[in-house]
Amino acid sequence: MFTTFTPSLGKGRTVPGLPARRTELSLVCTPGSVGRARHHAAHVLRGWRAHDDTVDAACLIVSELTTNVLCHAEGGADRPGSGGSFTLGLEIMGDLVEISVWDPDPTPPVRAAPEADQIHGRGLVIVSMTSTRWGHRAAARGPGKVVWARLPLVRGDVPASVLRDSDPPAAGD
């Protein structure tokens, strides 16, 4: 199920020309749901005119957070007979975009310190390196938790010179 929340003037009137500031997508826990969540995030962020770098970083975070649900959460796809689900949320918060993933398991996520030869355990390390901030909270309604990460919402219409000015100077400058 896909839900959008559009800016409102009250009494059911919306602000013309402004995109939704929050979306939610509920998915059943299957391996294919990670790709659907990532595709949804890219589509929404492009609709919000996010810069390609923001879209790419957000899609990486969505992949990691949704994969964690499948691998670790009670009711995830690897739990026999679970039929679990999760909800992906995207929200504009001033100059940030918050990516959130709700799942029914209240167990807090644990950031691992994997050995170099381990295959798993890097998801939250990648999230922490890609986002400006991340964390988790108890679900507002019902059981479970929400794991979230925030990124700067750089718009695609930002002049390239502004983006270049934020890059560190080259050696010898």
What pLDDT is recorded for position 53? 93
Asked, for residue 162, whether it belongs to a domain, the answer is: no
Q: Is residue 91 part of a domain?
A: yes
Question: Residue 18, exposed/middle/buried by CB under 10 A (0-12, 13-18, 19+)?
Answer: exposed
What pLDDT score was predicted for residue 94? Answer: 86
Could you tell me if residue 116 is inside a domain? Answer: no
Residue 13 belongs to a domain: no
| Amino acid residing at 107 | T
- Residue ranges making up the domain that contains 33: 18-111+122-156
| pLDDT for the residue numbered 44 | 94
In-domain check, residue 128: yes
What is the arithmetic mean of pLDDT over 29-48?
A: 93
**Position 133: which residue type?**
R
In a domain, 167, yes or no: no
Cβ–Cβ under 8 Å, residues 128 and 89? no
CATH of the domain at 29: 3.30.565.10
Q: For the residues 46-73, what does the mean pLDDT come to?
A: 90
Q: CA-to-CA distance for 82 and 62, rounded, in angstroms? A: 22
For the cut 50, the answer to whether the pLDDT of residue 10 exceeds it is: no
If you average pLDDT over residues 28-33, what whole number do you get? 89
> Between 121 and 31, whose confidence is greater?
31
| Local confidence band at 120 (pLDDT 50, 70, 90 cut-offs) | low
Question: Is the pLDDT at 2 greater than 80, yes or no?
Answer: no
Q: The tokens of 146 are what?
A: 């929400």
What is the model's pLDDT at position 168? 42
Closest by CA position to 41, among listed 27, 67, 61, 16 = 61
pLDDT (average), residues 109-123: 68
Contacts of 17 by beta carbon, 8 Å cutoff, 6+ apart: none
pLDDT tens-digit series, residues 140-155 = 887 899 999 999 988 7
Going by DSSP bridges, is the β-strand pair 22-28/85-93 parallel, antiparallel, or unpaired? antiparallel
Number of domains in the chain: 1
Q: Which of 87, 1, 95, 99 is nearest to 42 (CA)?
A: 99
Q: Rounded mean pLDDT of 90-106?
A: 92
Q: Is residue 79 part of a domain?
A: yes
Chain CA centroid to CA 102, Å: 11
Domain membership of residue 166 (yes or no) is no
